[in-house]
Structure 1
Amino acid sequence: MLTSLSIKNFALIEQLDIRFSNEFSIITGETGAGKSILLGALGLVLGRRADLTSLKDKEQKCVIEAHFDIQPYALQPFFEENDLDYEETTIIRREILPSGKSRAFVNDSPVNLQELQELGDFLLDIHSQHQTRELTDEAYQLQILDALAGHQDLLQDYRARLSRYKAIRSQLKQLLSEKDALLKEQDYNSFLLEELLAANLKDGEQEELEAAFERLNNVEFIREALDKSIMIANEEQIGLIQNLKEVKATLLKIAPLSIEYQDLSDRVSSVLIEFDDIADELQRHSEALMSDPEQLELTNQKLQNIYSLQKKHQVNTVAELLEIQQSLDQKVVQADDMDSRIDTLNREETELKESLNGLAETISANRTKAAPVLIGQITEILAELGMPNARFEFDIRPSETFLPLGKDEAQLLFSANKGTSFGLLKKVASGGEMSRIMLAVKAILANYTKLPTIIFDEIDTGVSGEIAHKMGDIMKKMSRKMQVFAITHLPQIAAKGNQHYKVFKFVQGETTVSELKLLTNEERIVEIAEMLSGKDISDSARNHARSLLMD
């Protein structure tokens, strides 16, 4: 319930701090005194968007803070899901800065407007004439039946399964689309894969083939270079090896004379050993070298195949071709894998569809049983509210598709007078009738669900006299199970409240200020007397006001 409200710098309100009880509270005031301002402030707490016009002083920020006792509503899961600190006395604060920016906090944790709206739905129901129209909404009508049927666990199970069912259908649609696209490409992908597999590619072989090709393609040139090198090295008189041997012999003669000569002699010996080994290697290469036109042709063909594949796939290396080969292999196999996944999802879809149909049938049967009970209770209350001939009928029809609340399509039909046929509620009920029907519905729901704090904003429009008394009695009865506020112009209803607040405005300096005040018993008598007879209060009006308060 709403325990207190603090408003600073909002519309005509400079500063307001007020506490509320958990019973039936009345709010009255002249038209334009500021009742809509109070509702506007609460609307901001519930997550309505704000703008700079909300600020009384454009240089100061606006702060609205509401305290709620949320212990009865079992809201711990909501707080956990949204990573908020749970407090039995929860504080919602809304700030509007002079820059136009808005901030919202729940127990000092920042929240976005969507989270605030979701939390607000659990806490506060501001019911105006505009909201009476929701009674004509099919989903709302089903929710009323569901409250009386008491099958919220079934609905929760149904919604969870429906969410999974929709997710599976979405996945199936996506998979089938992907499979269709894959199948269209599969022949071409298979051809490309076979072409790459036939090439029998190995990482690094391009470099090896290119080297082998150069070697085979230049046999004569290589042999000529090798033979000439061998000749220079091994010429009997002037070959390099012979000359190095002579240098070595010469240095050996002077090596004992100095360490430097010894080092030079050792280095020449090392060079001679190394060059001798080089000469042997040159000889082996020369002997191994032979012309092989067939191998040259095979090597060239292999290289040309690689170059052709690289050009086709727009890459430069065999490693990249191997990556493409692996990707194509996965695509070709993927279609087969998709079939398995599609089969699994199809089975789950079928199972969910069967369970959803079963749940929907049970929910529909429960609603069918609850409908006459609801109609009986509504007509009983409406008879007290001056509509003795009101008749209702629920037209519940099965749907071919799964809907958010089952497979029922429902319409609440209404007849206000004897001898008239039933028609759609939204077409045949007047504004005053809709208000009374909605009050009856809210009164019934209070017995079946934990409704949040409810504010009736002039739901009594269009009624008076004894009917107003009855409406006040119904709202007072509702307040035994929940916190109820009624903004009213009717003295009969105002007198039913446990507390009575008056909204008024006055001029302070150069500005107009709006205030909300809790009235004393004497002040209530004056206020109700004014509602009965106007500003010039007669003794009879006072006495009438006292008698209303004593009822």
Structure 2
Amino acid sequence: MLNALSIKNYALIEKLAIDFSNGFTIITGETGAGKSILLGALGLVLGKRADLNSLKNKEEKCIIEASFQIEKYNLEAFFAENDIDFEQQTIIRREILPNGKSRAFINDSPVSLQQVTELGIFLIDIHSQHQTLEITESKYQFEMIDALSNQREAVAAFYSKLQGLKNLESTLEQLKSSLQNQVKEQDYTTFLYEELVASNLQIGIQEELEEELSKLSNVELIREQLEKAITLSDNEQFGILQNLKEVKNLIFKISTISNQYAQIHERLESIQIEFKDILNEMNGLADTLVFEPEQLEVINSRLQIIYNLQKKHQVLSIEELLDIQNSLEDKVDSIVNIENEIGKLEVEISKLNEVLTLMSQEFRANRLMNIPKLETQLIEVLKLLGMPDAQIKIALNPTSLFNAYGQDEIQFLFSANKGSDLGLLKKVASGGEMSRLMLAVKAVLSNYSQLPTILFDEIDTGVSGEIADKMGEIMKDMSKNMQVFSITHLPQIAAKGDEHFKVFKTNINEVTQTQIEQLSSENRIIEIAQMLSGSSVSDSAINHAKALLN
């Protein structure tokens, strides 16, 4: 329940603090006195957007603080999930700074407006005049029936699964689109990949082939040069090898004289050995050198394939071609992977569709079972509110498509007068009838909902007299199970309250301010008498007020 509300520097309020009790609380005041300011302040502390214009003094910050007793509302999980300290008496504070920035706190922990709004849903239901039209919306009608059917949490879980289904279906469409685009290029991509694989590319192969091609293309030149080199090297009289041998022998004769000559002799011997080895290698190369036109053609063809591939892919090396081959392989594989992923998603979507269908069928069965009960209870309350001939028919129509509430569409049909045909509520109900019907809904749901506090802002619009008295009785009865506030202009309702607050304007130092005070028994008689007869209070009005209070 709402224990207390304090407001500082908001609209026409400089500073005020109010304590509330359980039961039925009445708030009255002349039009323009500032009742809407109280609602605005309460809305801010429950997460509505702030406006810098709401500051009374633009140079000071606005602070609104509300205290709630919450130990019976099973909200520990919410506090744990949001990493906020749980307190049986929880305080929500909202600050609006002069620079326009806004801050929110729950039990002195900084929080987001989203967190405040989510908590506020569990704490208080503020029903203003314009919200009466909510009853004509299918969203509200489903929530009303599901509250009676005790399946609001199950429907919320269904909606979460439905969002998951939509995400999966969106992912599936994206994958199918991607696959479609890739399939258009698949044949060419596969051709390019297989062409590269068939060429059997290896790092270094191009250089080896180009070297081999050069050898085979120059066999005669190579043989001629090798033969000349061998002749110059191995001639018995004038060959390099013979001359090197004679030089070595000459130096050998003086090698014992000095270590310097001995080292030269060793070096000449090494040269002789190395040169013999070179000569043997040249002889071997000359012996194996054969012109092979077939092999030349094979190498030419192999190189031409590589050159063509490099030109096609606009690269200069085997390494780059291999990179392209790997990339093409990934693309070919990705098509297979996408197809596999599509298959898995389709199975998952099918299973989730089955789950949602079963949940929808269960929702429909529960609704069909509880709709007659809701219709009966609403009609009974409407009779108390002066509508003895009211008829209500809630039609539930199955649909093949999922919506937030399953696979049902809902129609709320209504007739206020005997002999009148049932019609859609939004088209046939007047403002006064709508107000009474909304109160009937709240009264019925108060027996099923765990909402701790409800605030009616002039729900009595369009009614008076005996009907107003009945509305007051109904709200009074609701307050046995929950804390109920009513902002009203009707004395019949005001007299039903357990406590009564009056909102009024006053001038302090030539500045208009909004104040609120809890009325004593005597002042309450006067307030209700004024509501009955105006500012000029007669004895009869006083007696009437006392009668209403009694």
1:181-192 paired onto structure 2 within 5 Å = 181-192=181-192
Distance 1:154 1:276 in 2: 97
Question: Does the C-alpha gap of structure 1 residues 366 and 246 become closer, same or farther in structure 2, counting only changes over 3 Å?
Answer: same
What's the secondary structure of 1:73's corresponding residue? coil
Q: Which residue of 2 aligns with 1:199?
A: 199
CA-CA distance at 1:526 after TM superposition: 2.8
Indicate whether 1:132 and 2:129 are aligned: no
Determine the structure 2 residue equivalent to 1:277: 274
1:546 aligns with 2:514: no
Structure 1 pair 18–298 and aligned structure 2 pair: CA distance change class (3 A)? farther
Q: For 1:493 and 1:267, how far apart are their aligned partners in 2?
A: 131
User: Does the 8 A contact of 1:415 with 1:422 survive in 2?
Assistant: yes
What is the DSSP-based 3-state SS (H/G/I as helix, E as strand, rest coil) of the residue aligned with 1:67?
strand
Name 2:53's counterpart in structure 1.
Answer: 53
How far, CA to CA, are the matches of 2:155 and 2:402 in structure 1?
A: 13
Aligned partner letter, 1:127: H
Aligned residues: 544
Residues 217 and 463 of structure 1, relative CA distance in 2, 3 Å threshold: same
Looking at structure 2, the residues matched to 454 and 344 of structure 1 have their Cα atoms a distance apart, in angstroms, of 48
Structure 1 residues 221 and 43: CA distance shift in structure 2, 3 A? farther
The 5 Å alignment of 1:87-106 reads 87-106=87-106
Structure 1 residues 21 and 243 mapped into 2: Cα distance closer, same or farther (>3 Å)?
A: farther
Per-residue CA deviations over 1:383-440 (Å, capped at 9, x if unaligned) read: 1111111111112211121111011111111111111111111111111111111011
Q: What amino acid is the match of 1:287?
A: G
CA contact (8 A) 2:533 2:541 kept: yes
**How far did residue 293 of structure 1 move?**
5.0
Residues 67-124 of structure 1, C-alpha deviation per residue, up to 9 Å, x if partnerless? 2233333333434444444444333232222222223333344433333333322222
What displacement does 1:523 show? Answer: 2.9
Is the Cα contact below 8 Å between 2:143 and 2:152 reproduced in 1? no
* Residue 448 (structure 1) shift: 0.7
Q: Give the Cα separation in 2 of the matches to 1:527 and 1:229.
A: 133
Q: Which residue is equivalent to 2:25? A: 25
Deviates more, 1:525-534 or 1:480-489: 525-534
Please name the residue that 2:407 is paired with.
407
Answer yes or no: is the 8 Å Cα contact 2:446–2:481 preserved in 1: yes
3-state SS, counterpart of residue 387 of structure 1? coil
Give the corresponding residue for 2:396. 396
Secondary structure (helix, strand or coil) at the match of 1:397 reads strand
Q: d(CA) in 2 for partners of 1:34 and 1:417? A: 38
Structure 2 SS opposite 1:400 = strand
Looking at structure 2, the residues matched to 516 and 107 of structure 1 have their Cα atoms a distance apart, in angstroms, of 26
Residue 364 of structure 2 is matched in structure 1 by 364
- Residues 397, 408 of structure 1: 8 Å contact kept: yes
In the alignment, is the contact (CA less than 8 A) between 1:223 and 1:286 conserved in 2? no
Is residue 15 of structure 1 aligned with residue 18 of structure 2? Answer: no
Tell me how large the CA RMSD over aligned residues is. Answer: 3.2
Could you tell me which amino acid in structure 1 is paired with residue 403 of structure 2? L
CA pair 325-75 structure 1, distance change in 2 beyond 3 A: farther
Cα separation, partners in 2 of 1:314 and 1:503, compared to 1, 3 Å: farther
In 2, distance between residues paired with 1:139 and 1:78?
24
Equivalence for 1:520: 520
Q: CA separation in 1, counterparts of 2:232 and 2:51?
A: 98
* Cα 1:441–1:292 shift into 2, 3 Å: same
Please, which moves more after superposition, 86-95 or 21-30? 86-95
How far is 1:374 from its partner? 0.8
- Decide whether aligned partners of structure 1 residues 233 and 527 sit closer, same or farther in structure 2, where only a CA change above 3 A counts: farther
Distance 2:190 2:437 in 1: 70
Aligned partners of 1:526, 1:517: CA distance in 2, in Å?
A: 14
Secondary structure of 1:36 counterpart: helix
For 1:521 and 1:267, the matched residues in 2 are separated by 134
**In structure 2, do the counterparts of structure 1 residues 362 and 543 end up closer, same or farther at CA, with 3 Å as the change threshold?**
same
Q: Any gaps of 5 or more consecutive residues in structure 1?
A: none
Taking a change above 3 Å as real, the CA distance of residues 277 and 446 of structure 1, as seen in their structure-2 partners, is farther
Residue 535 to residue 316, structure 1, CA distance change in 2 (3 Å): farther
- The answer on whether the counterparts of 1:4 and 1:19 sit within 8 Å (CA) in structure 2 is yes
| 1:48-197 pair list within 5 angstroms | 48-152=48-152, 154-156=154-156, 158-197=158-197
Look up the SS of the partner of 1:471 in the other structure. Answer: helix
The structural deviation recorded for 1:227 is 7.5
User: Is this contact kept in 2: 1:168–1:349, CA < 8 A?
Assistant: yes
The amino acid that maps onto 1:273 is S
- Is 213-222 or 67-76 further displaced after alignment? 213-222
Q: Equivalents in 2 of 1:515, 1:251: separation in Å?
A: 131
Q: Which amino acid aligns with 2:474?
A: I
Quote the Cα distance in structure 1 between the aligned partners of 2:252 and 2:164.
96
Deviation per residue, 1:194-217 (Å, 9 max, x gap): 111111112343344444445555
Gap change, CA 1:522 and 1:237, over 3 Å in 2 = same
Distance 1:419 1:49, change over 3 A: same
2:505 is paired with a residue whose SS is strand
Q: Distance in 1 between matches of 2:294 and 2:482?
A: 100
CA deviation after TM superposition for structure 1 residue 129, in Å: 1.3
Whether the 8 Å contact between 1:386 and 1:467 is mirrored in structure 2 is yes
- Higher deviation after alignment, 349-358 or 410-419: 349-358
Q: Greater CA deviation, 492-501 or 219-228?
A: 219-228
Percent of aligned positions that are identical: 54
Which residue of the partner structure matches residue 422 of structure 2? 422
Give the deviation of 1:57 after TM superposition.
1.6
1: CA distance, partners of 2:539 / 2:105: 50
Structure 1 residue aligned with 2:490: 490
Structure 1 pair 241–41 and aligned structure 2 pair: CA distance change class (3 A): farther
Report the CA distance between 1:337 and its aligned residue.
4.2
Shift in Å, 1:155: 2.6
Q: What is the Cα deviation at residue 219 of structure 1? A: 5.8
SS state at 1:94 partner: strand
Any gaps of 5 or more consecutive residues in structure 2?
none
TM-score normalized with structure 2 length: 0.88
- 1:499 is matched with 499
Distance 1:248 1:544 in 2: 150
Q: What amino acid is aligned across from residue 307 of structure 1 in structure 2?
A: Y
Letter in 2 for 1:169: E
Tell me, what secondary structure is at the counterpart of 1:71? coil
* Deviation, structure 1 residue 276: 4.6
Does the CA contact (< 8 Å) of 2:231 and 2:239 recur in 1?
no
